Amino acid sequence: MRAAGAGPRVVSLVPSLTEAVAVSAPGVLVGATQWCTHPAGLDVARIGGTKNPDVAAITALKPDLVLANEEENRAPDLAALRAAGLDVLVTEIRTLDQGLRELERVLAACGAPRRPRWLTEAEAAWEAVTPVGQVTAVVPIWRRPWMVLGSDTFAGDLLARLGVRNAYEDHPERYPRIPLDELRATAPDLLVLPDEPYRFTANDGPEAFPGTAAALVDGRLLTWYGPSLAEAPRALSWELTRALRAARR
């Protein structure tokens, strides 16, 4: 529960930012989306989804600040919140460096008492990362239809730092729809399958690319910008390396 005098009242429309604020400035969050699953047991009002927030419910919470992201949230919803007289902080995060800067900005706006340890640990972990090798990967994020990481994405930047080149990094779209036969024709070294937004599993995804090494990864480690960044380099490197080694046997 929120403590009296705990700082600004904040509503977050972004799961990553919800987690970052909850662990770094306890007590300031009064609302979050239904997709804000971390930290577990977060006791705040739920105000709809990232793409369909309940503007009336948010306004009723009388927040001092609403946190949003230019990719995660829809411009009309943010405009409606501003029209209701609310202060909306919109982040833009397409690279790791940009993400770290934006996290500092968000936490300062939310009244975090100090720079959190996890943010310093995340910077150090990514500075010390050892690339798994120079490999090319296809990174689906959806199927029916198939959609993949394209250009200018946060996840693509993280993979590049791990030595994984996104086969569609030069595509004009950020999340293009690509026919399956075209994806297979790229003949990637690796298939990277996160469990969100589409929940790829060992039985749902790899079978579409027979003979290709497939790494099933935690989507939170690949796409979230927050405390998970501290553990992401080690965990992702392990999964990618395991998949590549298994394919060589």
Distance from C-alpha of 146 to C-alpha of 39, rounded to nearest angstrom: 31
The predicted model gives 146-152 an average pLDDT of 98
- CATH fold of 127-248 reads Rossmann fold (3.40.50)
The pLDDT tens digits for 35-90 are 999 999 999 999 999 999 999 999 999 999 999 999 999 999 999 999 999 999 99
The pLDDT tens digits for 209-240 are 999 999 999 999 999 999 999 999 999 999 99
* CB proximity list for 177: less than 8 A, separation 6 or greater: 145, 146, 147
Superfamily of domain 10-115: Nitrogenase molybdenum iron protein domain (3.40.50.1980)
Give CA 191 to chain center in angstroms: 19
- What does each C-alpha distance from 198 to 87, 146, 170 come to in angstroms? 32, 10, 23
Query: How sure is the predictor about 246, in pLDDT bands with cuts at 50, 70 and 90?
Result: confident
- Could you state, in order of their start, the residue ranges of all structural domains in the chain? 10-115, 127-248
Q: Residue 108: exposed, middle, or buried by beta-carbon count in 10 A (0-12, 13-18, 19+)?
A: exposed
Amino acid of residue 19: E
**23 and 118 in contact (C-beta within 8 Å)?**
yes
pLDDT of 6 above 90: no
Query: How sure is the predictor about 247, in pLDDT bands with cuts at 50, 70 and 90?
Result: confident
